[in-house]
Amino acid sequence: MSPAELAARLAPVEAALAARFGQVWPASFQAPLRYPLETGGKRVRPAICLAAAEAVGANPACAVPAAAALELVHTYSLVHDDLPCMDDDDLRRGRPTVHRAYDEATAVLVGDALLTEAFAVLAAAPLPADRVVALVARLARAAGPDGMVGGQAADVGATTGTVTVSDVDTLARLHGLKTGALLAAAAVMGGLSAGAPPSALAALEAYGQAVGLAFQLADDVLDAEQDSDAAGPPSYVKLLGVAETARRARALADAACAAVTPLPAPAALVALARFTVDRTV
């Protein structure tokens, strides 16, 4: 999938995100709220969500609220991850992080607001009530202690020494929550938005879990190529080496593609699975 095609697919999501926070009090809080949403990024999660709705034969437009909600949650997590008490990063996508552009208290509040807004977006989605409830429940599970937040807690523990991460299975469990849970939710939420049957949702679940881990493996390969001396918890590359990590990422992408091949229109999902392991950034 070319960058131009991806941008065209994501245009409705970008418009939905740009429409948020138009009326904010105090007015000085509006710019910080919009700042992390305007820094771009790969938008992989909303792209997968839209492609999943398409894959089950629906108009991707039905999944725009879910896609926007996913990006709001992902962006909030980045804002909080960058804080001095977490990763202490000064730059995000080539721009000062929110706590550097503004201050730490503002960054905490921005993250809180983005997370809360995600559920407001879903609550207002023009979908049947049972689908809205299912979407809210799935996003809450993926973002909470049984998903992304739990994985982040394990990652922090691995850094401080309170959690031992010394083998591939434990590392996979950590990243299956920290990174994989939201990516898997993206695929399933696209299907839920479209009213997909259980068999299709199961295929999307399998796809999302495989892509989620493949994404992290590919990230570790890219990180190793850019900074081979990076400190921190063990990575797949440290445990397996670059070649084996890259091989496993490709195998997971293959498994993801196989999972959704029986669906009516899986081409976009297949292209995104390939993108996760072929990207250079």
- Domain locations in the chain as residue ranges: 3-278
Query: In sequence order, which residues have a C-beta less than 8 Å from that of residue 149 and are 6 or more positions away?
Result: 143
Which pTM does this prediction carry?
0.95
Torsion angle (degrees, nearest 10) of CA 43, 218, 251, 66: -20
CA distance between the termini of the chain: 15
Cα–Cα separations (whole angstroms), residue 193 to 28, 74, 83, 121, 266: 35, 19, 33, 13, 16
Q: What is the pLDDT of residue 233?
A: 54
CB-based contact 215:183 (threshold 8 Å): yes
Q: What is the CATH number of domain 3-278?
A: 1.10.600.10
Q: What pLDDT score was predicted for residue 232?
A: 52
User: Which pLDDT value is given to residue 40?
Assistant: 76
Structure tokens at 179: 């990174």
* Residue 122: partners with Cβ closer than 8 Å, 6 or more residues away: 65, 66, 69, 132, 135, 136, 139
Q: How far apart are CA 101 and CA 154, in angstroms?
A: 28
- Provide block-wise average pLDDT over 10 residues at a time, the chain (281 residues): 84 96 94 92 94 98 98 97 95 94 98 98 98 98 97 93 92 93 97 98 97 93 70 76 94 98 98 91 75
Q: CA–CA separation, 20 vs 176, rounded Å?
A: 30
Q: Which candidate, 237, 239, 137, places its Cα nearest to that of 192?
A: 137
For tokens 């977490």, name the residue: 86
pLDDT of residue 281: 75
